[in-house]
Amino acid sequence: MRRMRKAVPLRGLFLGGLSLCGMFLVSLPVQACSLALVLAQDVSSSVDAAEHKFQSRGLAAALMDPDVIAAILTGGGVWISTFEWSGRTNQIVHVDWTYLDSPEVIGRVAKTIASAPRGHADYPTSLGYALGFAAVHMRKVPQRCARQVVDVAGDGLNNEGFPPEAAYRAFDFRDITVNGLVIKGSDPDPEEFYRTEVAKGPGSFVEVAYGYQDYAKAMKRKLIREISGASLAMR
């Protein structure tokens, strides 16, 4: 006479299946995000139309540079977002959070940056407000990354609203590094201001562009240094 097999409760099968699935999921490799990068462009009244074109097209050209693309892809990709800034409430996001993980995506973002219309042209330089906006915007990145970097470019001193020091006290800059790109040519020269009051956090630095025509080269050096985390930029 054949012996009847003992029925296995459905609950046991269900829990056993979940256990196996959990073991399988744990074994899957998880792709970590290495960098979330916010790029902030100065469009205050000190930046004329020609200089704005040098800045936008220079940033786009830097992103499309083969060395920068290689740095991005070598690390598996980076999250990026860009916005323009000028007066206290004049911040406009041109590229919302986008994951750069292929030459095609990088190309689309570069094209958007190069062709983005300028939102404002007649407001002063409210750098403290721009930094506050960047800190809030950084917390909206879809994925937690190993490094969070704000890359702020400008050609002048803060001349409206609270200064960078107040922004760093008022907003959440934990684990955020702020780097500066100074465009030389204004009087007073903003370089020392960026070095002493803007740059903040682990490994922060200031890159220098000797005029707007040098912007693309300076931005390339800056991006490679930020993306790779290296102590020296490729030149």
34 closest CA partner among 148, 146, 151: 146
- Residue pair 120/43 in contact (Cβ under 8 Å)? The answer is yes
In a domain, 234, yes or no: no
Per DSSP, the three-state class of 96 is strand
* Tally of structural domains, the chain: 1
CA distance 218 to 235: 9
In a domain, 23, yes or no: no
Cis status, amide bond into 66, omega within 30 of 0: no
Beta-carbon contacts of residue 204 (< 8 Å; ≥ 6 apart): 177, 178, 179
In a domain, 163, yes or no: yes
Going edge to edge, which strands form the sheet with 145-154? 91-100, 78-85, 33-42, 145-154, 176-183, 206-209
Strand 78-85 versus strand 91-100 pairing type: antiparallel
In a domain, 51, yes or no: yes
pLDDT of residue 201: 96
pLDDT of residue 229: 81
In a domain, 3, yes or no: no
In a domain, 42, yes or no: yes
- Residue pair 152/127 in contact (Cβ under 8 Å)? The answer is yes
CA distance 150 to 199: 10
pLDDT of residue 31: 56
**What are the pLDDT tens digits along the chain (235 aa)?**
444 444 444 344 334 443 433 433 333 334 578 999 999 999 999 999 999 999 999 999 999 999 999 999 998 999 999 999 999 999 999 999 999 999 999 999 999 999 999 999 999 999 999 999 999 999 999 999 999 999 999 999 999 999 999 999 999 999 999 999 999 998 999 999 999 999 999 999 999 999 999 999 999 999 999 999 843 333 4
Bridge-partner residues for 145, per DSSP? 33
The CATH number that applies at residue 80 is 3.40.50.410
- Residue pair 36/147 in contact (Cβ under 8 Å)? The answer is yes
pLDDT of residue 32: 75
Domain that holds residue 124: 33-228
Bridge-partner residues for 35, per DSSP? 147
In the DSSP assignment, the letter for residue 213 is: G
In a domain, 105, yes or no: yes
In a domain, 84, yes or no: yes
The model carries a pTM of 0.84
